[in-house]
Structure 1
Amino acid sequence: MTQPSTTDRPGPGDRVAPDRAGSHPFRLPWAFMVLVALLVAGRFLLAPHLTGPGLRTWATVFVAVCVQALPFLVFGVALSAAITSFVPASFWTRTLPRRTWAAVPVAGMAGAILPGCECASVPVASGLMARGVAAPAALAFLLASPAINPVVLVATAVAFPDDPEMVVARFAASLAVAVLAGWIWARFGRAAWLPAPRRPAEAGQGRVAAFLDTMRHDLLHAGGFLVVGALAAATLNVLIPRDWLTAVAGVPVVSVLVLALLAVLLSICSEADAFVAASLTAFSPTAKLAFLVVGPMVDLKLIALQAGTFGRAFTWRFAPLTLALAIGVSFVAGWMFL
């Protein structure tokens, strides 16, 4: 392996591969697996002993969010590590258009072929940026992938069997939000808000070893923020009164805003959110569409993952931008298609 040049040396904020002589590479993954096993076991062993209905609901939602999102998180981390370790950087420069304004919609459409939820899209987008993909294009992929992939669209069609327009509206609105967010970030974003992830390989380290090191680090890092997001989602799921939702369902504009906010708080995986939206029969189709568009792009666990992966300076700017675009585009798409 050729030695890295001085320009590839890690800076103060770059990730440095662990020292193999003094580290225990298999201890941390096993610790994470034990944590997952305890979550699953706790659902069946502790839930029967929880006396309060609110506490039981909280435990159910917390474990459900973690277990539901974990396979997709592992898939996304593995794909991200593979992109970083095995795919040469020149591949992305050849595949995507050189101009950022053209690369953004292409990257957004590429999200349609990856069957994963928002938990998978964050590490994959990080891996793309680490391989030289422009940040606006990677962000468009991050938003589009969990919202317009085939699994999500099929689930939406099953949840709304008598409303095929909902599938079209969800696809069009979600893709529009992803592309607009990418273009806006290309115009107004600053490099200081989103430093490009760098994962320099250790000298003499093979690609397989780099893949395993990267996957282990990202899985533990993103998994911790997933748990934080699940804790917040479970708590708010219990605190929001159902009667309050029913009362605001009849106010058109307010109902859209309420379901958009509810999507952020509940943090339901994009493969399952259509069935929840279909069950909200008191709300208008446009309000349900806002729930489906906002959820995969801005929710508590996704905000936590973005903050842990890209930093708070990025998250506090990008999440409000995405939320505003998702709500505005939902109004337009609801008027056009529903």
Structure 2
Amino acid sequence: MPFLLIGVTISTLARWLSPGGQWVRRLPAHPLLGPLTGAALGFALPACECGNVPVARQLLATGAPLATALGFLFAAPVLNPIVVASTWAAFPNQPWLLVARPVGAVLIALVLATLLAHLPEAALLQPALLEERRLVLPLSQVSLLERRSGVIGADPLAAQALAAAPRRTPRAPLAEILGHGSREFIELAALLVFGCVIAALVQTLVPRPWLLAVGGAPTLSILALMLLSLVVSVCSSVDAFLALGFAAQVTPGALLAFLLLGPVIDIKLVGLFGVLLRPRAILLTAVSAVLVVLLIGQWVNLWLL
């Protein structure tokens, strides 16, 4: 909950300090540079996966390129100083994890951002977010009808001039911004609590020893730890200490898979992603993330075992 509050605070400050989001729209839209830039923002905006959701939503709402916003959403939970420090503190004798975890997070973000970018925005983003995004995009990218604003039958030359002219969005009153941020925090907190309740029920009903019983098998250990990461919904800032409790019982690839998959998708994140993505996009994200993490874990086991 504190990290969710940090994320909402960051998005609220961004909404007040840069109401038009002009700097956001200057971020690279390149298929490779976009996700890498978004991932690098994790160093400047340290928040766990829960706190990243409101920040990513604000990036998309203010017109950030899809590749950059998605790269931030999926990679920044691992590429922030708090998570890097916690990973080093938990595994000081396994320096390969300090390299493999950030590199794996960037690789996952690149794959997911590339796949989701092939979907039309109308099939990717939730309707409310899509309308906010279209209101700030220039007319050269979004028509007046798509914005649901403007005059039908307006002079094309006038519309072209309006598209080329720089637009300045007035700064909203601080009380209005704070009210918006408070409502956003309450809505996301409700989804977070609901997801945590489901995760707690699963953790209570599914004995953890069942999942760790196959810890020595190269492939089954990865699958078991991936399943564990989906149901044990913890913050990316502390999941390394949780993994420390069973690190000696599982293969290196399974350990890395646990540390990579949880920050990208787990039970509580499915509800939070609902404010950003449509169900089809969430399903594509989950399936793709599982496959990529499984391949990474297999490669690590081949390398270290």
Shorter-chain-normalised TM-score: which range? 0.7 to 0.9
- 3-state DSSP class of the match of 2:124? coil
What CA distance in whole angstroms lies between the structure 1 residues aligned with 2:302 and 2:47? 29
Aligned residue number for residue 55 of structure 2: 124
Indicate whether 1:90 and 2:57 are aligned.
Answer: no
Shift of 1:142: 0.6
Indicate whether 1:259 and 2:225 are aligned.
Answer: yes
Shift of 1:189: 5.2
Indicate whether 1:140 and 2:101 are aligned.
Answer: no
* Cα separation, partners in 2 of 1:337 and 1:219, compared to 1, 3 Å: farther
Shift of 1:221: 1.0
Aligned residue number for residue 224 of structure 1: 190
Shift of 1:82: 2.0
CA contact (8 A) 2:195 2:271 kept: yes
1:256-314, CA deviations, whole angstroms, 9 ceiling, x for partnerless residues?
A: 01101110110111111111112112111110100000011111111111124434343
1:20-35 map, 5 Å:
none
Aligned residue number for residue 174 of structure 1: 105
1:167-200, CA deviations, whole angstroms, 9 ceiling, x for partnerless residues?
A: 1111111111112211222234553231436188
Shift of 1:76: 0.5
What CA distance in whole angstroms lies between the structure 1 residues aligned with 2:85 and 2:47? 13
Q: Pick from 249, 263, 271 the counterpart of residue 304 of structure 1.
A: 271
- Point out the more displaced range, 146-155 or 239-248: 239-248
Q: Pick from 221, 238, 248 the counterpart of residue 204 of structure 2.
A: 238
Aligned residue number for residue 166 of structure 2: none
CA contact (8 A) 1:260 1:294 kept: yes
What CA distance in whole angstroms lies between the structure 2 residues aligned with 1:154 and 1:317? 31
What CA distance in whole angstroms lies between the structure 2 residues aligned with 1:148 and 1:123? 17
Shift of 1:324: 2.2
* Cα separation, partners in 2 of 1:327 and 1:109, compared to 1, 3 Å: farther
Aligned identity (percent) is 33
Aligned residue number for residue 257 of structure 2: 290
1:55-109, CA deviations, whole angstroms, 9 ceiling, x for partnerless residues?
A: xxxxxxxxxxxxxxx1000111111122233213211233x22434432221122
Indicate whether 1:274 and 2:240 are aligned.
Answer: yes
* Cα separation, partners in 2 of 1:188 and 1:212, compared to 1, 3 Å: same
Aligned residue number for residue 66 of structure 1: none
Letter of the structure 2 residue corresponding to residue 183 of structure 1: T
Structure 1 regions of 5+ residues with no counterpart? Answer: 1-69
TM-score (norm 1): 0.73
* Cα separation, partners in 2 of 1:313 and 1:214, compared to 1, 3 Å: farther
- Point out the more displaced range, 163-172 or 82-91: 82-91
* Cα separation, partners in 2 of 1:207 and 1:273, compared to 1, 3 Å: same
Shift of 1:212: 1.0
CA contact (8 A) 1:86 1:207 kept: no
Shift of 1:204: 9.0
* Cα separation, partners in 2 of 1:130 and 1:162, compared to 1, 3 Å: same
* Cα separation, partners in 2 of 1:206 and 1:187, compared to 1, 3 Å: closer
1:65-214 map, 5 Å:
70-87=1-18, 88-94=20-26, 96-188=27-119, 190-195=121-126, 196=130, 198=132, 206-214=172-180
What CA distance in whole angstroms lies between the structure 1 residues aligned with 2:300 and 2:43? 19
Shift of 1:158: 1.0
Letter of the structure 1 residue corresponding to residue 21 of structure 2: A
Aligned residue number for residue 314 of structure 1: 281
Shift of 1:240: 1.7
Shift of 1:249: 1.2
- State the number of aligned residues: 267
* Cα separation, partners in 2 of 1:121 and 1:223, compared to 1, 3 Å: same
Shift of 1:116: 1.2
- 3-state DSSP class of the match of 1:326? helix
1:98-138, CA deviations, whole angstroms, 9 ceiling, x for partnerless residues?
A: 43443222112222333211110111000000110122321
CA contact (8 A) 1:172 1:333 kept: no
CA contact (8 A) 2:212 2:225 kept: no
Shift of 1:336: 5.0
